[in-house]
Amino acid sequence: MWKTRIGALLLLIIGAGIGYFIYASEPKLHEGKTVRFQQTAEKFPFKLGLDLSGGVQLVYKADVSSVKPGEVKNAMDALRDVIERRINAFGISEAIVQIEEKGGITGPVEERLLVELPGVTDVKRAVDMIGQTPKLEFMKERPKVEFEVYNKAVEKFKADQAAGKALNIPAELLAGPYVATELNGRFLERAVLEFDQTTREPIVSIVFNKQGADIFAQLTKDNVGKTIAIYLDREIGNPNPISAPVVNEAILGGKAQITGKFTAIEAKTLVGRLNSGALPVDKLELISTQTISAPLGAEALMAGVWAGIWGLVIVAGFLILWYRLPGLVSVLALAIYVVIMLALFKFMGVALTAAGIAGFILSMGMAVDANILIFERTKEELRKGHGVHDAIREGFARAWTSIRDSNISSIITAVILFWFGTSLIKGFALTFGLGVIVSMFTAITISRTLLFALPFSGHGVIVRTLFGSGFFKLK
């Protein structure tokens, strides 16, 4: 018995400690006061989503038409990493970059990239910040037959242009004198600025990853004596590469050089752009923007906080009024549940959104639901004449299967919502699913321990009063 009571006391102390840590980590709660562990605690602030903190949301559509179906996921992961690196370079904290798929059931799948920039309210600045990362391509000469077709198309185009005729640009001319190869910026590992030891002209040296090195070696081996054109952000109808060296021999080791009429500043900028990430997709198109002002986000945040407080107060009042002493125990367990959830939000870096707060509040109801099942089963055992501890033990055993099944079904629902939902739905699903898991722990472990620590036994008047329902005494 004493071990149980010591365990219950430790749970209350730990819960109070976590609550104090959350209090210390929020400067607005203790303005003008000095609290212990403040500097350490403030390293774990709440991470607020765009709808609560204000900022800009950009939605991009990625063109993956030339990416092999089996490599689309890797390409989108690489694209997300590229954009994250570019955002981090500007020092924006708490930015969120997510991949989202649209369609797929009745139509083609559309790959999208969602970029949320808290604290940024200038859409133009946000778009300029992400910018267009360079698309690096290596192209080989057209076969002789195709090249002759290309030359004839160029001659006809020039003749029509000189004669003042309507310019119908043929496909052969748009394509240029080169054809695409498998090698592109997706396989780039790093770029380095160097200078030619003789001319002192800037050179951009690039290094490919292992897969890119193998492709580059095979490409140069198959095109000895021919030109390999290097394009950066190639446009249709612009056949001029930034560099077109002739391959003298197969190049092993995955290294190449981009030379051209660069100034030192231009070469340095190019190196920075390449290192920040060449686009692993064909095109990234901005399709929508949304701006949320900071005051509007703060208003939404306060509305969510007050909804949570009122919900907690009303639920606590109901539990104490209807279930009396067990209700008071469940309120303590619910308070510990709340501080555990808030601590998890801080340590896991969960981005709280309005939908996420709604999921959290809903999960509080799930936590109470488990306690209600336990209390009702316990009262049934008390009516049978069992002592308090025996009734509690039997009540937990009988309620466990119902609690287990209902919570598992809720967790499955949360997983499905998180897996298939949009970013808004994922925020709700994550907090709801996490809340259901923690609520099972608090209901089965904390409530149980606190109830077994109660100094009551038998089936006397005091027990029937404290374990009654509402305005009725337990019979």
- Same domain membership, residue 313 and residue 180: no
Asked whether residue 121 carries a pLDDT value surpassing 60, the answer given is yes
- What's 267's domain CATH number? 3.30.1360.200
pLDDT > 90 in the chain, percent: 0
Q: Which tokens in the block code for residue 369? A: 């639901």
For the stretch 407-423, pLDDT in tens is 888 889 888 888 877 66
Instruction: Choose the final residue of a domain: 113, 133, 153.
Output: 133
**pLDDT band at residue 316 under the 50/70/90 scheme:** confident
Residue 417, domain extent: 43-47+293-466
Q: Which residue has the higher pLDDT, 31 or 63?
A: 63
Q: Is residue 329 part of a domain?
A: yes
Q: Is residue 18 part of a domain?
A: no
- Same domain membership, residue 386 and residue 324: yes
> What does each C-alpha distance from 434 to 254, 337, 340 come to in angstroms?
46, 11, 11
- What's 447's domain CATH number? 1.20.1640.10
- Same domain membership, residue 163 and residue 107: no
- Same domain membership, residue 304 and residue 158: no
Element (H, E) at 381: helix 354-383
Segment 40-53 mean pLDDT = 69
Asked whether residue 191 carries a pLDDT value surpassing 60, the answer given is yes
**Range of lowest pLDDT (32-46, 205-219, 226-240):** 32-46
- Same domain membership, residue 146 and residue 100: no
Predicted pLDDT at 171: 59
Q: Which residue has the higher pLDDT, 325 or 422?
A: 325
- Same domain membership, residue 159 and residue 106: no
Q: Would you say 116 and 202 are in contact if contact means Cβ atoms under 8 Å apart?
A: no
pLDDT > 70 in the chain, percent: 75
CB atoms within 10 A of CB 396: 20
Instruction: Choose the final residue of a domain: 133, 154, 184.
Output: 133
Q: Which residue has the higher pLDDT, 454 or 105?
A: 454
Q: Which tokens in the block code for residue 457? A: 């036994």
236 residue type, one letter: I
- Same domain membership, residue 350 and residue 264: no
Give the separation between CA 63 and CA 66, rounded to whole angstroms: 8
- Same domain membership, residue 321 and residue 228: no
- Same domain membership, residue 300 and residue 183: no
Burial of 3 (0-12, 13-18, 19+ CB in 10 A): exposed
The residue written with tokens 């950009």 in the block is 58
Q: Would you say 130 and 80 are in contact if contact means Cβ atoms under 8 Å apart?
A: no
Asked whether residue 237 carries a pLDDT value surpassing 60, the answer given is no
The pLDDT mean for the chain works out to 76
Segment 319-324 mean pLDDT = 80
**C-alpha dihedral, 172 to 177 to 183 to 187, nearest 10°:** -100
Q: How far is CA 205 from its chain centroid? A: 34
Q: Is residue 366 part of a domain?
A: yes
For the stretch 161-179, pLDDT in tens is 777 766 666 655 555 677 7
Asked whether residue 45 carries a pLDDT value surpassing 60, the answer given is yes
* Number of domains within the chain: 3
**pLDDT band at residue 295 under the 50/70/90 scheme:** low
Asked whether residue 133 carries a pLDDT value surpassing 60, the answer given is no
Predicted pLDDT at 456: 64
- Same domain membership, residue 314 and residue 219: no
- What's 67's domain CATH number? 3.30.70.3220
Would you say the pTM of this structure is higher than 0.85?
A: no
